[in-house]
Structure 1
């Protein structure tokens, strides 16, 4: 039961982190007329943040006890 509650708390924290990462003030930082490997910086940021959130969620959910 303790493990399930800890996982739920971590996932809730990740949700809040996602809300911050995809909110206006942070997105405005990356809204520039530049590109990374031919992709606009804003789109690269959105994709990278989305990918990172999915990876961390998978790590939190699949983490096993030692």
Structure 2
């Protein structure tokens, strides 16, 4: 029984999102930046944006199969 390629890509995307938002990864970015502010919010919103864009790309893509 084969799954659809879209479903496989969404599972992979979910796993990527889980890894990007793991607490040990988040703690790597919880340091002061050049202006004295934490770069954690920049990382969180950037990772969130990447996940949203990848999800849109996967869901809007036409499968050739």
Q: TM-score range by the shorter chain?
A: 0.7 to 0.9
Name stretches of at least 5 consecutive residues in structure 1 with no aligned partner: none
Other-structure match for 2:17: 18
Alpha carbon RMSD of aligned pairs, Å? 2.4
Higher normalized contact order (CA 8 Å, seq sep 6+, divided by chain length): 2
Name stretches of at least 5 consecutive residues in structure 2 with no aligned partner: none
Other-structure match for 1:27: 26
- Give the TM-score of the pair, scaled to structure 2: 0.82
More strand by share: 1
More helix by share: 1
